[in-house]
Structure 1
Amino acid sequence: MSTTILDARTLFPEETYKSVRRTILDANPDMAEDMAGRIADEGIKFVVACAQNPGVGMAPSRIVDEGWHALLLHSAAYAKLCDQFGGMVHHYPGWDPTHYDPPILDRTRQMIEQAGFVVDEELWRPPTDDLLVSVAAKCQHAPSCTIRPMPKPEWP
């Protein structure tokens, strides 16, 4: 277990980080700016953990997936982040709220902590829990579509 506490915001130049946060706000106009920052942070942590742990099935919460989507739109910075920590983390979208699988989210949070981050537990709620914040992202990743770095998708 890593004892170093990493700060997700320092992994991007400040202007890039602000642009990622702005992308989240653009997709969610009623969201508070501090919430968008928290979502961006968790998205960064998620990507780093995935890049460091190829082959370990992980998935973001629906709220964190919003941050991941915003990161993907900053493709050059996203690719650099992935490369810095191990390899490209591809996104294969899918939406089915029945795909919610608590063990995957538990494992993902553990991998984020092992990467040296503190997890913002409040943003890792079940996909049906919109009490904290409602987001535009409509993905729910689970056993059949867990996230892992790979050269190409596994098509049925």
Structure 2
Amino acid sequence: MTLTLEPGVRDARALLNPDDFMAVTATVAKDNPDMGWTMAERVVVEGLKFVAVAADGTERGIAPSRVVDEGWHALILHTAIYKGLCERLGGFVHHYPEPPDSGRYDPEFIDRTMAAIEAAGFPVDQELWRGPDNGIVEVSASCQHAPNCGPIQPMPTPQCLPDPPPPAPSAQQTA
């Protein structure tokens, strides 16, 4: 399938090479056997958009919908792909899971996230950003992010510490 975008509109699929995109999509499809491949691709694309906005460090107070979170989870499971993605985007986006709680869902929070994605130049697949009981697709993700959960923000890349010195020889070793 060829996707034609209007000038100035960013293509989230281009954030990964085709093989990596397929691997992440396969994870979503495997973890959600009732979900078709096309829907799994849509979920990954929205997850990529979310990570792109979260990694740039300018947006605070954003979170994925429960469906989009499934795409983010699949990205995280592919650690090398996710690390490279975050490095290219400007910052590592940590995940702070929360158990699902539809009472915690805040439509204004999701609206703010969708607005940030659009401001970054990505079109939003609004169907996948609906509330926890969206009636569109069920996902296996067992967390729901909300304003009061852990901060979703890029963190500076930690600097590697030097290897610790070897332990001092014991009395037996010196005898």
Give the TM-score, by structure 1 length. 0.89
Confirm or deny that 1:118 pairs with 2:123.
yes
Match of 1:154 in 2: none
- Amino acid of the structure 1 residue aligned with 2:55: A
Task: Report the RMSD for the aligned CA atoms in angstroms.
Answer: 1.4
Match of 2:142 in 1: 138
Task: Choose between structure 1 and 2 for higher RCO, CA contacts under 8 A separated by at least 6 residues.
Answer: 1
Q: Which stretches of structure 1, 4 residues or more, deviate above 2 A after TM superposition?
A: none
**Structure of higher CA gyration radius:** 2
Q: 1:13 aligns with which of 14, 17, 25?
A: 17
Equivalent pair of 1:61/1:123 in contact (CA under 8 Å): yes
Q: 2:110 aligns with which of 86, 105, 108?
A: 105
Distance 1:58 1:121, change over 3 A: same
Equivalent pair of 1:55/1:149 in contact (CA under 8 Å): no
Structure 2 Cα separation of the partners of residues 93 and 46 of structure 1: 15
Q: 1:84 aligns with which of 66, 88, 94?
A: 88
- Amino acid of the structure 2 residue aligned with 1:97: S
Which one has a larger percent helix, Structure 1 or Structure 2? 1
Q: Across the two proteins, how many residue pairs are aligned to each other?
A: 148
Match of 2:33 in 1: 29
* CA deviations over 1:8-58 (Å, ceiling 9, x no partner): 111111111000000001100111110000000000000001011346111
Gaps of 5+ in 1: 152-156
Equivalent pair of 2:56/2:154 in contact (CA under 8 Å): no
* CA deviations over 1:88-139 (Å, ceiling 9, x no partner): 100000022211011110111011111110000000010122x111100011
Structure 2 Cα separation of the partners of residues 5 and 63 of structure 1: 23
